């Protein structure tokens, strides 16, 4: 099986049940800090082994180095800073060891114990530099920028011990999986070549066909459809609905035992090319040998070029850094001429009017109006799940 990134063995930071009980007792006497959602999600990713080989949150020097040069000060390639940024440190001032509390779970339980290495003040100029490098813009209309720049000006670095994986295991018991668990299942299935498909949306027919194309061309043993389960933009479709849609598609339209449906606990950054690099890195940690990177991967609005998330792998990743390989996909759409989904760039004698092209905005408006997307765009069983959800939101059920 493909090696984890940065080490010979995967080193998840989630502690054992015995250690957890000991740490919970200790946490009662420690100063505590309520995390923001992004930092809590990073704790989950560290605990689940996805962010191997990191052992905690970065300091300011490493954060700036990663943002500007894509590597830590000791030379580890890393695409985005993993940070614990806060607005107020009065409750933990002078502490060497603190309890980190989960903002996304009732009563804010302790999610991790942190060994505080540094508490540093980030200047507005440094925040702006990092945001510009990570997101390619300082536009406050960009959801990632507004979140990142609003998280505070104190940066707390240090290693952590993760006690639990937030709400993901309880809310998505059949879907959430750690990197170790996915590796174990890949081994059980005896898959050697494994394609990962990243999604934050319900899968439409173009996504489905893209998975089939990648498996066929790469002669892969299977695909892991790996959905983001954390926070999204307000107008995005909730995780439980996406989960239901994806499972129905796999059940009906994928050969038996060819696809694994799983999810991970991270908040969407909408960082486009930088986030694509992060996606590749943690898919290597979960055991995938290939990652599908398509048009506007991890993008939002018009902030990134259509294929910037592909070219960054050629331009910014040093040779030999990642073992995982990228399957570069064109924009896929249903061809009216051929009666099937194709990669648009390779469809000869086609004009735009020969394709069924629907924007996410248009599809959401159709669903709000109680109209199912056409069968050329979405499988009818999937479309019905979405229509039912939007009807329930509109109080029609």
Query: Lowest-confidence range among 28-42, 105-119, 223-237?
Result: 223-237
pTM (two decimals): 0.94
Considering 97, 201, 247, 364, which one is annotated as catalytic? 201
Q: What CA–CA distance (Å, rounded) separates 242 from 390?
A: 13
The residue-averaged pLDDT of 5-26 equals 97
Say what the pLDDT of residue 331 is: 77
Q: Which of 2, 201, 47, 30 is nearest to 100 (CA)?
A: 30
Say what the pLDDT of residue 4 is: 98
Q: What CA–CA distance (Å, rounded) separates 258 from 197?
A: 13
Annotated active-site residue 295? The verdict is no
pLDDT beyond 70 at 156? yes
- 41 or 372: which carries more pLDDT confidence? 41
Considering the segment(s) 17-166 as one domain, its CATH architecture is: Roll (3.10)
pLDDT band at residue 397 under the 50/70/90 scheme: very low
Q: Do domains 17-166 and 174-264+272-332 have the same CATH topology?
A: no
Cα dihedral 264, 266, 268, 272 in deg (nearest 10): -80
Residue 78 CA, chain-centre distance (Å), reads 15
Task: Give residue limits of the domains in the chain.
Answer: 17-166, 174-264+272-332
Render pLDDT for 256-307 as a digit per residue (tens, 0 to 9): 999 999 999 999 999 999 999 999 999 999 999 999 999 889 999 999 998 9
The β-bridge partners of 328 are 293
Say what the pLDDT of residue 361 is: 67
Share of the chain above pLDDT 90, in %: 79
Say what the pLDDT of residue 391 is: 86
Considering 153, 200, 247, 364, which one is annotated as catalytic? 200
Query: Lowest-confidence range among 17-21, 189-193, 373-377, 382-386?
Result: 373-377
Q: What CA–CA distance (Å, rounded) separates 237 from 379?
A: 17
Render pLDDT for 157-184 as a digit per residue (tens, 0 to 9): 999 999 999 999 999 999 999 999 999 9
**CATH assignment, 174-264+272-332:** 3.40.50.620
Say what the pLDDT of residue 344 is: 78
- The mean pLDDT value of the chain amounts to 93
The residue-averaged pLDDT of 72-78 equals 98
Render pLDDT for 202-221 as a digit per residue (tens, 0 to 9): 888 888 999 999 999 999 99
Say what the pLDDT of residue 170 is: 94
Annotated active-site residue 201? The verdict is yes
Q: What CA–CA distance (Å, rounded) separates 182 from 191?
A: 11
The residue-averaged pLDDT of 178-191 equals 98
pLDDT band at residue 358 under the 50/70/90 scheme: low
């Amino acid at each position: 099986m493909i090696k984890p990134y940065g080490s010979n063995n995967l080193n998840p930071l989630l502690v054992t049940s015995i250690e957890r009980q000991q740490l919970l007792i200790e946490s009662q006497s420690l100063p505590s800090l309520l995390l923001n959602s992004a930092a809590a999600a990073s704790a989950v990713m560290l605990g689940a082994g996805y962010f191997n080989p990191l052992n905690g949150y970065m300091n300011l020097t490493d954060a700036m180095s990663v943002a500007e040069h894509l590597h830590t000060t000791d030379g580890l390639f890393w695409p985005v800073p993993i940070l614990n940024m806060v607005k107020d440190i009065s409750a933990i001032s002078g502490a060497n060891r603190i309890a980190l509390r989960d903002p996304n779970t009732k009563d804010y339980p302790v999610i991790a114990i942190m060994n505080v290495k540094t508490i540093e003040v980030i200047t507005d100029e440094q925040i702006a530099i990092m945001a510009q490098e990570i997101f390619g813009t300082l536009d406050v209309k960009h959801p990632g920028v507004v979140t990142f720049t609003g998280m505070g000006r104190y940066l707390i670095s240090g290693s952590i011990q993760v006690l639990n994986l937030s709400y993901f295991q309880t809310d998505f018991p059949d879907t959430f999986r750690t990197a170790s668990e996915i590796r174990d299942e890949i081994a059980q299935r005896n898959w050697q070549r494994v394609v990962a498909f990243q999604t934050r949306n319900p899968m439409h027919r173009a996504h489905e066909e893209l998975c089939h194309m990648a498996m066929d061309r790469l002669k892969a043993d299977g695909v892991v459809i790996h959905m983001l389960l954390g926070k999204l933009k307000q107008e995005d479709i909730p995780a439980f609905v996406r989960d239901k849609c994806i499972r129905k598609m796999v059940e009906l339209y994928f050969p038996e035992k060819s696809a694994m449906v799983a999810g991970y606990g991270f908040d969407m950054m909408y960082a486009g090319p930088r986030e694509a690099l992060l996606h590749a890195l943690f898919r290597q940690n979960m055991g995938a040998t290939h990652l599908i990177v398509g048009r506007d991967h991890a993008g939002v609005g018009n902030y990134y070029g259509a294929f910037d998330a592909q070219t960054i792998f050629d331009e910014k990743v040093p040779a030999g850094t990642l073992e995982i390989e990228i399957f570069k996909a064109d924009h896929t759409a249903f061809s009216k001429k051929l009666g099937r989904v194709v990669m648009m760039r390779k469809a000869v004698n086609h004009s735009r009017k020969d394709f069924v092209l629907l924007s996410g905005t248009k599809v959401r408006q159709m669903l709000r109006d109680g109209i199912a997307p056409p069968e050329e765009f979405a499988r009818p069983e999937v479309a019905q799940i979405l229509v039912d959800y939007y009807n329930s939101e509109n109080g029609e059920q």
